[in-house]
Amino acid sequence: MGLFTGKKGLVFGIANDHSIAWAITEKLHAEGAEMGFTHLPDKDPARPRMEHRVRKLVEPLGAKLITPCDVQKDEDIDRVFAMARDTFGKLDFVLHSVAYAPIEDLKGQTFNCSRAGFATSMDISVYSLLAITRRAREALAPGGSILTLTYLGGEKVIPGYNIMGVCKAALESLVTYLAHELGPSGFRVNGLSAGPIKTLSSSAVGDFDVMLKLYEAMAPLRRNVTVEEVGKTGLYLLSDLASGVTGEVLHVDSGYHIMGAPPADAKL
């Protein structure tokens, strides 16, 4: 019997098998969770690449629900939660792994971010958690948990992260306010801040290989984290093992975030 035997949840935002959300999903499945999944809507219904990519991953896990969701559309989010209610009844957890910034706004200097790019980035990367949580509050069973994914760029300046760092700062603040408001109902809301992992989203960040080397030199463990380690921590935060943890942003980065200067043996 696993930690999640009999537990049911929704996962928003798996892009491919390199996604942090996928690493968490694998751990949840191994512990007995039943899950539903959303994917980005396909621009061409005749060539459903996004759907096929996600189905290839989650169908072998016995996925009970696979559906597109545009988080900028309230009617889409409403539809997903209605389908989840019909499929699962009450949910035990929701995983939010949704972030986006227009490439021209992400690549450029933060002060050059366009008004439209800022609005889009905040809407998808931050407001989506608020919108999903509003529906999840009615869908969760007692003791339910919500988890979102963030990064150190929301706390400290990470060159190349730019407008997404501003979004993650807002996301982490939102975690605390949602935790405060959902706490009296017995629901938990947390964030997981992973070290640099090679994912689809990280490919848009400049000098990513340099960042990996910096973590190896600076972090107390003198290494980068693995996506499996991040997956295990996501499992923990969504599980009853973390029943007393809410409003937290838990770093899984080999301790890098505590460092203020390079250690004496750092080879930079």
Enumerate the active-site residues.
151, 161
| Nearest residue to 147 via CA among 192, 186, 179 | 192
Helix then strand then coil, in percent of the chain rounded to 5, is 50, 15, 35
Please check whether residue 1 is in contact with residue 26, taking contact to mean a CB–CB distance below 8 angstroms.
no
Give the chain's count of helices (H) and strands (E): 9, 7
d(CA 184, CA 161): 35
DSSP string, 33-63: -EEEEEEPPPS-TTS-HHHHHHHHHHGGGT-
Question: If DSSP states are collapsed to H, E and C, what string results for 213-236?
Answer: HHHHHHCCCCCCCCHHHHHHHHHH
